[in-house]
Amino acid sequence: MIRIGHGYDIHATTRGNGIVLGGVEIPCDLALRAHSDGDVVLHALVDAVLGAAALGDIGRHFPDDDPAWREVASSRLIERAMRLVTERGWSLVNVDISIIARAPRIAPHAESMRATIARLTGLPAGSVSVKATTHEGLDALGRGEGIAAHAVCLIADVS
Ligand code: MG
């Protein structure tokens, strides 16, 4: 059996000294406003992976009012989500991620994100896709007031 999962996340941007997207530190004059590192890419991916297995969402497993999860790097969250899904007999097949950001430019960092996500999920890099769009100046995302990400994944029953 195969199942599909989708996840979405958005965080507001502020002036700052850099952001983390897809587990990759990107030096820039922005920061993401969040209880955590604000990594919308990994947060969307966690929701996609949990969603594919109908295991709820990131807020259920990692509540941001729980001090245990508040300052934890999002890489720990995706590792934990992967464990929850694989424990139930599922295997991740591929992930496809779309980042919506006016700034910073994502393209120079996309390959690092692919490699990082591959390492965190156990997928070959060829099964991890990271794409980006600017929103063409439209709406809050187009004005750069936030950064968002969509993630889609496929899981397969390995039994
Ligand atoms: Mg988030």
Q: From first to last of its 159 residues, what are the pLDDT tens digits of the chain?
A: 999 999 999 999 999 999 999 999 999 999 999 888 899 999 999 999 999 999 999 999 998 888 888 778 999 999 999 999 999 999 999 999 999 999 999 999 999 999 999 999 999 999 999 999 999 999 999 999 999 999 999 999 986
What's the pTM? 0.96
Query: Closest Cα partner for 13 from 149, 141, 119?
Result: 141
> By C-alpha distance, which of 153, 149, 151 is closest to 21?
149
Rounded to the nearest whole angstrom, what is the distance from the C-alpha of residue 41 to the centroid of ligand 1? 8
Kindly give, in sequence order, each residue whose CB lies less than 8 Å from that of residue 78, ignoring residues fewer than 6 positions away.
42, 45, 46, 49, 117, 120, 121
Neighbours of ion ligand 1 (CB under 5 A): 9, 43
Cα of 1 from ligand 1 centre, angstroms: 30
Ligand 1 centre distance from Cα of residue 73 (Å): 11
